[in-house]
């Protein structure tokens, strides 16, 4: 019998005590409108509020947490139902045994989650890598997803290169170790480093990710403080298993007929060499915009801008395919 288990399985297994603690002590993860749902391969923490026939679904880019989205939710909830979720492997959205962190599993998660939420018309507001499984589910289920706002997402080859750059940067920022792309990619070693990084990740990386984060201490604290509260209560950050699996996945984009807006924050230092318009070829009804003075998480950094982009997309007339 083969007793050697894949490294990501080890990572999932060590979270079981945290999952049981969340079941026994819901005060760890609860808050106004916040729910915790069990799907086939994941537990997902999300917030649902608002009113309207259309539901805006906001995917949080790890390690961002629900509590950081209060402002954008407040701006949208009078006209839309708003759902904000934390991606599996981060915060209180835990993977279950069998979740492998590849694109296909994130696609399965998203489709299950949208069905579980129970709305009939969704607008996605998805940043960074969530764009890729958002695109796939939108192509598969146009009956569920009627429009999409994507942010900070390059073409797949550029996004894979970007992942290597940030692996180097994050490992050096948190542990002062060079060669993060190789260390994090190594099974078991990457998981061991991930344990060491988990509590250090946000305070060490936020000053560089947030626009002018090294100078604007209050803005940086608005990221670090809620993220650290989640960590203190047992939230997770499985960046290493995500890095090992997600970016080795096969991703074949399918053209979308739905109205799509691709937005870019031009002050994101991690995407200096990315082709910002690379995905536009897959959007038959696509628009593009660039925004200055925004860091990588501009959907959270500038909630007014995020809400306006959603509203503009929702009101846009649809072009026939």
Q: Which domain CATH number covers 94?
A: 3.40.50.1820
- What's the pLDDT score for residue 312? 97
**Which residues constitute the domain of residue 17?**
7-313
- How high does pLDDT run on average in the chain? 93
In a domain, 2, yes or no: no
Q: What is the mean pLDDT of residues 120-149?
A: 96
In a domain, 321, yes or no: no
- What's the pLDDT score for residue 228? 95
The tokens for 106 are 């994130």
In a domain, 320, yes or no: no
* 304 pLDDT more than 50: yes
In a domain, 318, yes or no: no
Alpha-helical segments (H) within the chain: 7-13, 16-24, 70-76, 103-117, 130-140, 156-175, 180-183, 189-197, 201-209, 217-232, 239-246, 298-301, 303-315
Print the SS3 string covering 94-163.
Answer: CECCCCCCCHHHHHHHHHHHHHHHCCCCEEEEEECCHHHHHHHHHHHCCCCEEEEEEECCCCHHHHHHHH
Residues of the chain with pLDDT > 90, as a percent, come to: 82
In a domain, 319, yes or no: no
**pLDDT tens per residue, range 33-72:** 999 999 999 999 999 999 999 999 999 999 999 999 999 9
Read off the pLDDT band of 203 (50, 70, 90). Answer: very high
pTM: 0.94
Read off the pLDDT band of 26 (50, 70, 90). Answer: very high
- What's the pLDDT score for residue 146? 97
In a domain, 195, yes or no: yes
Q: What is the mean pLDDT of residues 81-90?
A: 97
In a domain, 93, yes or no: yes
What is the number of structural domains in the chain? 1
In a domain, 164, yes or no: yes
- What's the pLDDT score for residue 321? 52
**pLDDT tens per residue, range 155-172:** 999 999 999 999 999 999
- What's the pLDDT score for residue 5? 62
Is there a contact between 64 and 93 (Cβ–Cβ < 8 Å)? no
**pLDDT tens per residue, range 259-284:** 999 999 998 888 888 899 999 999 99
Read off the pLDDT band of 1 (50, 70, 90). Answer: very low
């Amino acid at each position: 019998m083969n007793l050697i288990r894949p490294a990501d399985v080890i990572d999932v297994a060590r979270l079981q005590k945290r999952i049981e603690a969340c079941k026994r002590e819901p005060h760890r993860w609860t808050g106004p409108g916040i729910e915790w749902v069990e799907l086939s391969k994941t537990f997902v923490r999300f917030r649902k509020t608002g009113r309207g026939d259309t539901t805006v679904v906001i995917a949080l880019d790890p390690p961002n947490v629900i509590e950081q989205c209060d402002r954008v939710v407040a701006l949208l909830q009078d006209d839309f139902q708003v759902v904000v979720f934390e991606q599996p492997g981060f915060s209180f959205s835990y993977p279950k045994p069998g979740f492998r962190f590849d694109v296909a599993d994130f696609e399965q998660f998203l489709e299950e989650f949208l069905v579980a939420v129970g709305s009939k018309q969704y607008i996605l507001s998805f940043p960074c890598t969530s764009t890729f499984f958002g695109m796939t589910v939108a192509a598969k289920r146009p009956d569920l997803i009627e429009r999409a706002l994507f942010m900070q997402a390059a073409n797949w080859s550029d996004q894979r290169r970007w992942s290597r750059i940030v692996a180097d940067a994050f490992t050096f920022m948190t542990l002062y170790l060079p060669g993060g792309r190789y260390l994090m990619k190594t099974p078991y070693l990457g998981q061991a480093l991930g344990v060491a990084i988990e509590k250090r990740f946000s305070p060490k990386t936020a000053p560089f990710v947030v626009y002018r984060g090294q100078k604007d201490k209050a803005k940086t604290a608005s990221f670090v403080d809620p993220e650290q509260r989640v960590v203190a209560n047992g939230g997770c950050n499985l960046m290493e298993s995500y890095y090992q699996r997600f970016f080795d996945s096969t991703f074949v984009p399918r053209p979308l007929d739905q109205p799509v807006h691709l937005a870019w924050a031009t002050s994101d230092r991690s995407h200096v060499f990315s082709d910002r318009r690379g995905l536009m070829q897959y959007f038959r009804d696509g628009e593009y915009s660039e925004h200055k003075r925004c860091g990588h998480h501009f959907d959270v950094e500038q909630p007014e801008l995020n809400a306006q982009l959603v509203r503009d997309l929702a009101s846009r007339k649809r072009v026939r395919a």
